Chains A and B, each alone.
Chain A
Amino acid sequence: MADPSVTRDLSPFQEQWLQFRQSRSAVLGLFIVVLFFLLALFAPMIAPADPIAQNLEAQLTRPLHGGYLFGADDLGRDILSRILFGARISLLVGAISVSISLAIGGAVGLLSGYFGGLADLLVMRLIDIMLAFPSILLAIVICAAMGPSLQNAMIAIGVIGIPSIARIVRASVLAEKEMDYVTAERSLGASHLRLVFSAILPNCLAPLIVQATLAYAGAIISAAGLSFLGLGAQPPTPEWGFMVSSGMEYISTAWWVITFPGLAILVAVLGFNLLGDGLRDVLDPRMKE
């Protein structure tokens, strides 16, 4: 790059970043996502109150009253603080469940795409069956069988994300493994391991990153749904979906108890969806609508 005769030689990353920046919605998505990560990280410093400390004198305080910006819930807990700490939970749930999907789905897709054969056939049949399930039902059944807890919800959401990741990875592996550069490496005596991880995998990353971002959005909303149904986070955890369900009793008297946590879910999920859409346009022009 130091060669002065090449005036504007951008690396692929710089080129994609320029393209990404041109999409206002993608930048907005990135901004929201980064904002939520910062809020989650610094929640103990930003939050005005303890998220689980009850104050029975402040039960159902209206927003903007008594120092409660978003009001207080039925146990007098500060809703804003609960939302800030809730960001930690939702982002963590998203990260862990997407990691589960990526690790298992990625491994399955890589191996069955690379080696093919009977194992590939059987694995893909199983994947088809999982895809034939409406995913929210599968998550509910897994949670119901294993017992309600946030940890089991993460596992359930991770599991329902496996099939789509596995399919995407397998499809890219099938396309990549016939490429000349792979044949070249193979003829140089590269091992299977080396071929899979240093030749094929890096070239499958683009669709994988896009899918992982969109799956992150899906994981946050599914986890909130499971917790809302009582199958995820348990009290007194400040989980957004659970906060919405605990406000249901006060629906005719205290609208703020369910409104603000729901808005938090909406904005966070929107952020990841915007980011995923933007990344798709930049990274994977073939997947463009």
Chain B
Amino acid sequence: MGRYIAKRFLLVIPTILGVITLVFFLRFLSPGDPARLMLGERATPDAVRVLRAEWGLDRPKAEQYLVYMGKVLRLDLGRSYKNGDPVAQEILTRFPATVELSVVSMVIASVLGILAGVVAATRRNTVADFVAMVGSLVGVSVPIFWLGLILIIVFAVNLNLFPTGGRLDGRMLMVPITGFYTLDGLLYIFREHDFSYFLSALHHIILPAVALATVPLAVIARVTRSAMLEIMGQDYIRTARAKGLPERTVIWSHAFRNALLPVITIIGIEFGYNLAGTVLTETIFAWPGIGNWLYTAVLSRDYLAVQGGVAFVSIAFILINLLVDVMYAYVNPRIRY
């Protein structure tokens, strides 16, 4: 067990270095020169040369790469080409917003996905099963950016039930404690006996979280259904029923417990994708997270920011997958490497 985890950890290091390297060299696909891009068409060659020297762009590629890697190892992702902000700090201030959105959407997806999967499996070939399975295929086929906009049209613009974007009411000023506004709102309740922050944070997160939850919900429902179907056909389930246990006990404490392994695994994997795939959702809902920031950086061709942001998100993605693997080995005694 310990050896397996150690081995898995060691394997992650070259993967992370590889990811950073790949992102670094992708920049050279770009036809333009970052310095010229920032200074504009009318900049004098001298000004461009000075800026190139300042950013180290006049050095050989190999040297630029080594310098960048050296900095990354010291957790320095450089400064944005656009406004000189330190990239690492920009990322860290925005990361909690993305994690919060992703976690809330995964909670929605897991609860509803598991319910839908269990219902579909225990009522196999009924209308409920059909609806759940067709629904899950629609869920993986729907373009998220479009679904987000439809949610805004229906629930924000027409029914006026939710705000169209942002994390908090415009006139509220919250000093972030954890950076997760729903948690901070809860703390405010205890500290100031003020519910308004919590309610506002919750109010703002629901629509984007629902949009972001669609794909993982569909996938979790499908995996839960097939895991449950496999288990419901086994002998010990028949035994449990023959003993006269209520169907609810048979389903939840006998069958579902044993279906948990694949379900937890898929939740972990989907969480990774979900965290990395917030760009579209954050853009639509003006959610001030990493995805939104990364998108702005892409549009302004601020490559150093893009490079740092993508490397950071990819590393988070890799670490989540590592965690899933380790957990899987821990929970499943049959797997030992």
| Contacting pair B152 A251 (CB below 8 A) | yes
Partner of B298 from the list A140, A221, A261, A270 (CB cut-off 8 Å) is A140
Chain A's nearest CB lies how many Å from the CB of B11?
9
Q: Is the CB of B301 within 8 A of A289?
A: no
Within the complex, what minimum Cβ distance (angstroms) separates B259 from chain A? Answer: 13
- B153 partner residues in chain A, CB cutoff 8 A: 251-252, 255, 258-259
Cβ of A40 within 8 Å of any chain B Cβ, yes or no, is no
Which of B30, B150, B310 contacts A147, CB < 8 Å?
A: B30
Q: Which of B270-284 contact A (CB under 8 A)?
A: 272-273, 276-277, 279-280, 283
Prevailing SS type, chain B contact patch: helix
Q: Which residue of B lies closest to A126 (CB)?
A: B18
| In the complex, chain B residues whose CB is within 8 Å of the CB of A133 | 19, 22, 314, 317
Contact with B along A213-233 (1 / 0, CB 8 A): 000010001001100111100
Whether a CB of chain A sits under 8 angstroms from the CB of B149 is yes
**List of B residues within 8 angstroms of A126 by Cβ:** 18
B196, CB-defined interface residue at 8 Å: no
Binary CB contact string for chain B from 60 to 104 against chain A (1 if under 8 A, 0 otherwise)? 000000000000000000000000000000000000000000000
B197 → A minimal CB distance (Å): 27
User: B271 to nearest A CB, angstroms?
Assistant: 12
Number of B residues contacting the other chain (C-beta, 8 Å)? 51
Q: Does A97 contact B (CB under 8 A)?
A: no
Q: Mark interface residues in B251-281 (1 if CB within 8 Å of A CB, else 0).
A: 0000000000000000000001100110110
Contact partner of A259 (CB less than 8 A), chosen from B144, B150, B303, B318, is B150
Does any Cβ of A come within 8 Å of B137's Cβ?
A: yes
Q: How far is the CB of A74 from chain B (nearest CB, A)?
A: 15
**What separation, in Å, do the CA atoms of A228 and B146 have in the docked complex?**
9
Interface flag for A160 (CB, 8 Å): no
A144/B306 in contact, CB under 8 A: yes
Q: Which partner residue on chain B sits nearest A277 by CB separation?
A: B137
Q: Check: A266 CB closer than 8 A to any chain B CB.
A: yes
Q: Are B276 and A145 within 8 A (Cβ)?
A: no
Kindly identify which residue among A132, A141, A241, A251 contacts B306, using a CB–CB cutoff of 8 Å.
Answer: A141
| Residues on A with beta carbons closer than 8 Å to the beta carbon of B244 | none
Pair A224/B143 contact, Cβ less than 8 Å: yes
Question: Which chain B positions have C-beta within 8 A of A136?
Answer: 276-277, 279
Q: Return chain B residues, CB-CB under 8 Å to A255.
A: 153
Distance (whole angstroms) from the CB of A220 to the closest CB of chain B: 9
Chain A: CB-nearest residue to B20: A129
A42 to chain B, nearest CB (A): 24
- Is A137 touching B143 in the complex (CB atoms < 8 A)? no
Judge if A244 is at the interface, Cβ distance under 8 Å.
Answer: yes
Q: Which of A134, A225, A265 contacts B280 (CB 8 A)?
A: A225
Determine the chain A residues whose CB is within 8 A of the CB of B222 once the complex forms.
Answer: 289
* Chain B interface residues toward A at CB < 8 A: 14-16, 18-19, 22-23, 26-31, 134, 137-138, 140-147, 149-150, 152-153, 157, 222, 226, 272-273, 276-277, 279-280, 283, 294-295, 298-299, 301, 303, 306, 310, 313-314, 317-318, 321
> Residues on A close to B: CB < 8 A?
25, 125-126, 128-130, 132-134, 136-137, 140-147, 217, 221, 224-225, 228-231, 241, 244-245, 247-248, 251-252, 255, 258-259, 261-262, 265-266, 269-270, 273-274, 277, 289
Interface pairs A-B: 10 shortest CB-CB: A134-B276, A262-B146, A129-B18, A270-B141, A289-B226, A269-B141, A145-B29, A144-B298, A145-B30, A252-B157
Q: Sample 25 A-B pairs with CB under 8 A, ordered by A number.
A: A125-B18, A128-B15, A129-B19, A129-B22, A132-B317, A134-B273, A137-B277, A142-B29, A144-B306, A145-B30, A145-B303, A221-B141, A228-B145, A228-B280, A229-B279, A229-B280, A229-B295, A229-B298, A241-B145, A244-B143, A252-B157, A258-B146, A262-B150, A273-B141, A274-B137
